[in-house]
Chain A
Amino acid sequence: MIELVSQDRCIGCRLCVKVCPTNVFAMEGKLAVIARQEDCQTCFMCEAYCPVDALYVAPQADKSANPDEQELIESGRLGSWRKEIGWNPGAEDTMAERDTTPFFEVFTEAYRGKQQEIGK
Chain B
Amino acid sequence: MSQPALKEALKLTADVLVIGGGPAGTWAALTAAAKGVKVILADKGYCGSSGATAPSGTGVWYVKPEEELREAAKASRYAMGGKLAEHRWMDRVLDRTYENMNRLGVSGYPFPVDEEGNPYRRGLQGPEYMRLMRKLVKKAGVKILDHSPVLELLADEHGVAGAAGVQTQNGEAWSVHAGAVVIATGGCAFLSKALGCNVLTGDGYLFAAEAGASLSGMEFSNAYAICPTFSSVTKTAYYSYASFYYEDGSVVEGAGSKKGRSVIARNLLAGRQVFAKLDGADEALQPLLRVAQTNFFLPFDRRGINPFKDLFPVTLRLEGTVRGTGGIRITDEQCGTGVPGLYAAGDAATRELICGGFTGGGSHNAAWAMSSGSFAGEGAAAYAAGLGRHSQHRAPVGLSSSPLVHQEVKAGEAARTAEYVEAVQAEVKPYDINLFRTEQGLASSLERLDGLWKEQRSREIQRTPEGVKAREAEAMTATARWMYSSALARTETRGMHKREDFKGSDDSQHHRLISGGLDQVWVKTEEVAKESVLL
Q: Which residues of A contact B (CB under 8 A)?
A: 17-23, 39, 41-45, 48-49, 58-63, 77, 80-81, 84-85, 87, 93-104, 106-107, 112, 115-116, 118-120
Contact = CB atoms under 8 A, between A and B. Distances in A.
B127 interface: yes
Interface of B: 44-46, 48-51, 54-55, 57-59, 76, 109-112, 114, 120, 122-125, 127-129, 146-147, 168-169, 193, 195-199, 230-233, 237-238, 240-241, 257-258, 280-286, 288, 291-295, 298-303, 362-363, 465
A112 B298 contact: no
- Which of A17, A59, A77, A94 has the most B CB atoms < 10 Å from its CB? A59
A104 B298 contact: no
A84 B301 CA distance: 12
17 contacts: A17-B169, A21-B50, A23-B147, A44-B55, A59-B233, A60-B231, A61-B230, A80-B302, A100-B114, A101-B293, A103-B237, A104-B363, A106-B237, A106-B238, A107-B362, A119-B285, A120-B282
Given A59-B303, A77-B302, A101-B57, A23 B363 contact: no
Nearest to B291: A98
A96 to B, nearest CB: 4
Q: By CB atoms of chain A within 10 A, which of B49, B50, B123, B288 has the most?
A: B49
Question: Which of A19, A43, A77, A101 gathers the greatest number of chain B CB atoms within 10 Å?
Answer: A43
A22 B120 contact: no
B46 A107 contact: no
A20 B51 CA distance: 11
Given A45-B196, A104-B122, A104-B363, 4 more contacts: A59-B302, A100-B112, A100-B120, A112-B280
Contacts of B283: 119
B54 A43 contact: yes
B240 A21 contact: no
B109 A96 contact: yes
A45 B298 CA distance: 13
B199 A119 contact: no
B285 A48 contact: no
Contacts of B76: 104
A41 B125 contact: no
A4 B465 CA distance: 24
A18 B147 CA distance: 8
Contact of A58 (B111, B240, B302): B302
Contacts of B363: 103-104
B303 A96 contact: no
Contacts of A120: 282, 284
A107 B237 contact: yes
